[in-house]
Amino acid sequence: MDTNTQTVEPLPGQMAIDGEQQTLFSLEELTIKADDSIASLKAQIKEAQQVLKDVYDANEEYVQQVNRTEGEKKQLGEIKKEIHAQPDIASLLQKIKDLRGDIREKQQTVSECAVEYARLSGTRQIKKNGHTYDIVQSARLVKRK
């Protein structure tokens, strides 16, 4: 028996789902969950950045430098470095960096799953929370070395 045409035994009241339908359902769910996760990670970054902004705003020396002329703003970078050297701020900056990495990873997952879903299903749309999303592929050129 071909593994792609196997039928999963349905629960009472459900229709039988073959392997391909199950794969499509799984891809759709994975795409939706990864997309939801991206939104959550973006909200966490926004919160962390607000905390960082509040720390900057609470530092009088930093605020004074922000309001100065362009030539004096070089000191602003030094003040930022001092603020970033604080252990709690350093960990906050690392958290922001990690969250951005997680977002890139989740976006790649969404992309791969959506493309595979479109290929297998023959449709370029996914429904999520009552909204319909189009699956759009994009390509980029990378110069060879």
d(CA 15, CA 13): 7
Question: What are the φ/ψ torsions at residue 22 (nearest 5 degrees)?
Answer: -65, -40
What's the chain's Rg over C-alpha atoms? 24
Q: Is the pLDDT assigned to residue 110 strictly greater than 80?
A: yes
Between 63 and 11, the higher pLDDT residue: 63
Interval 19-63: pLDDT, tens: 778 888 888 888 888 888 999 999 999 999 999 999 989 998 888
57: Cβ contacts below 8 Å, ≥ 6 apart? 63
What is the reported pTM? 0.65
* Candidate from 17-21, 107-111, 137-141 with smallest mean pLDDT: 17-21
Q: Is the pLDDT assigned to residue 70 strictly greater than 90?
A: no
Spell out the domain ranges in the chain.
18-134
Structural tokens at position 35: 């997309």
Structural tokens at position 72: 């004096």
